[in-house]
Structure 1
Amino acid sequence: MSKFMGLSSLAISCLLFVSTIVAATDVQYCNNNEEYEVNVKGVDISPYPIARGEPATFSISANTDTEISGGKLVIEVSYFGWHIHSETHDLCDETSCPVAIGDFLVAHSQVLPIYTPPGTYSLKMKMIDGRKKELTCIKFSFDIGFGSSSLADI
């Protein structure tokens, strides 16, 4: 009986650990009245909270009613309301192009510098097609942890 209890405790511990590795975050559209061609279903961030100096992946699940041959992702990051970072990525580097009608996934991985301050950040992402038409615009918050699992910090 104690062997079963030990295994079930280990299983519960593993499930709790895995649930902290990936987190879905609340997403809002930049303009709730806008009819975007790309509808975002959700954003998953892994690991969560993000560890400084280690890779973090933002996976955005979305749906479109039109084929997208290419475009850009424009990302703006704020910290305590202050704009601190902007970057632009080719959409086809973050997902398979052309994007077919239906569901698709945009995934971006990045290593944040070890000196990145911990706390809550706001991210705004616009998806723009090749003709510079805004396909969607979302915003969400994410946390960067106080520690890093890197041995270099010990």
Structure 2
Amino acid sequence: MESQLHPKLNHLLCLFILTLSFAHAQATTFGYCADVNYDVKVSGVEITPDPVVRSRPVTFKISAATGEAIYGGKWVIIVAYFGFVVHKEIHDFCEEVSCPVATGSFVVAHTQKLPAFAPPGTYTVEMTLKNEKNKPLTCITFNLKIGWGFLVSNI
């Protein structure tokens, strides 16, 4: 009887690990901030882990493409909770990627640690890339879930 139990436990353990891996690196649904034909087209947003855990690092990975080289600019991140802006930060775009960004596809990744006091729930994130002349090259919005603890279901 013990030999029949091991294969089932191994199968359940593998399924559990696979589920955790999937829940911690998923593509995130996003939209553009306005009905504008932005110069930079975003093709994907990935948040790891998802949902985010307070006091632990979170990585935002944005896949995009540009029709013209990008020589500089800033990356503006605004976070809202129930419609109220709770966080805003501005980064030099060339510190996030290697400039100039050539024509074609590129990926920008940003990692930061969220504060321990951030209440669990769903936040709205707006990320805007502006060139060195302050012209918006793209602007996207997406939701970010902050969970209660380490092992939080994505359901």
Counterpart residue type for residue 57 of structure 2: P
Q: TM-score, normalised by structure 1?
A: 0.90
Partner of 2:118: 116
Aligned partners of 2:56, 2:121: CA distance in 1, in Å? 16
TM-score by length of 2: 0.89
Pick from 62, 68, 80 the counterpart of residue 78 of structure 1: 80
Residue 143 (structure 1) shift: 0.4
Q: Which of 49, 52, 65 pairs up with 2:51?
A: 49
1:46 deviation in Å?
A: 0.3
State whether residues 53 and 148 of structure 1, in contact with CA within 8 Å, keep that contact through their aligned partners in structure 2. Answer: no
SS at match of 2:99: coil
Give ranges in structure 1 of 5+ residues lacking alignment: 150-154
Q: Is the 8 A contact 1:63 1:104 kept in 2?
A: yes
Unaligned runs of 5+ residues in structure 2 are none
Taking only aligned residues, the RMSD between alpha carbons, in angstroms, comes to 1.5
Asked if 2 retains the 8 angstrom alpha-carbon contact of 1:56 and 1:110, the reply is yes
**Alpha-carbon distance in 2 for matches of 1:15, 1:59:** 21
Counterpart code for 1:30: C
Percent identity over the alignment is 45
- SS of the equivalent of 1:143 reads strand
- The number of equivalent residue pairs is 148
- 2:32 match: 29
* Contact 1:22-1:48 within 8 A present in 2 as well: yes
- Offset, 1:148: 4.5
